[in-house]
Structure 1
Amino acid sequence: MEIRRATTVAEHLYDGPPRPEWAERFLAAPGHLMLIAYAEDGFPAGLVSGIEMLHPDKGSEMCLYELSVDEGHRRRGIGRALTEALAAVARERGCYDMWVGVDTDNVPALATYRSAGAADDGVFAMLTWEFEAKGR
């Protein structure tokens, strides 16, 4: 397996079809990062995306935004390797931590993140504001 910074999108790893203009914008935005894990045959087997956030009083932290592993390539350590690779980039960039929001019943994701060294930070509520997005 090889992990490389994404320069294009691997459509099968998303929840829905990626929009080319959104993918281009994400990949070009400062502080945005996407890594793709390639299987030995060159197949894009997984991806992780992160967004570096800068706080005036804390410095920067990395948010693990999304992790996806192709169904046929799961349970081989790809998710852990991608998470560890993103954490390594966060450390290189001087981030003071990395975090991810996970549904408490998402057992595979929790196991993956814990195996990559994450610790529970307590229970929290996530509140959202939904806006009608242009082009959806």
Structure 2
Amino acid sequence: MTRWTVVQVTDPAELVAASHLFDFAVTPEGAADTLGRPGHVVLLARAADGRDVGFVSGVEMRHPDKDAELFLYELGVDEGSRRQGVATALLAALRGVALARGCRGMWTGTEADNTAALATYRAAGAQIDDGSVFVVWEDLTEG
């Protein structure tokens, strides 16, 4: 029996209430902006008692010479709910969203030493590309 359900967030207040799952507090303005942007999706894993125990966010992307794909922006599971299939359920639900939107692929990035994330992604059917490098501009307002 599943102890949670995965729901797509449409109300910014739901994200604010789930702030404990994110790196920083979710503001009403940030939640509304995210949910209002075309192609953005946030899913929550909600326990039977109403607690939010995990989330995944994604952004649909398209390039003129490629099929649509979904970028898995971030995945997080409450510490007390890890290793119980929450992340797997969230990834499966995000895959369903991607397919419903006509995406042919889904991708993400993580640190090379994040063994838990890599194992989770592999278990969900992802192939790990050890040769990729992410280039990051941390603060475009500087320099």
TM-score over 0.5 for the pair: yes
TM-score (ref. length: structure 1): 0.93
C-alpha RMSD of matched pairs (Å): 1.3
> 2-side partners of 1:19 and 1:42: how far apart?
21
Which residue, out of 1, 5, 10, partners 2:8? 5
> 1-side partners of 2:99 and 2:36: how far apart?
21
- 1:85 corresponding residue in structure 2: 93
- The alpha carbon displacement at 1:81 in A equals 0.7
Kindly tell me the number of residue pairs found equivalent between the two proteins: 133
Correspondence list, 1:41-56, <5 A: 41-56=49-64
Q: Percent identity?
A: 47
- 1:64 corresponding residue in structure 2: 72
> 2-side partners of 1:99 and 1:23: how far apart?
23
- 2:116 corresponding residue in structure 1: 108
TM-score (ref. length: structure 2): 0.88
Specify every segment of 5 or more residues in structure 2 that has no aligned partner in the other structure, as ranges.
Answer: none
Specify every segment of 5 or more residues in structure 1 that has no aligned partner in the other structure, as ranges.
Answer: none
Specify the code of the residue in structure 2 equivalent to 1:78: V
Could you list the structure 1 runs, at least 4 aligned residues long, displaced by more than 6 angstroms after superposition: none
> 2-side partners of 1:122 and 1:70: how far apart?
28
- The alpha carbon displacement at 1:23 in A equals 1.2
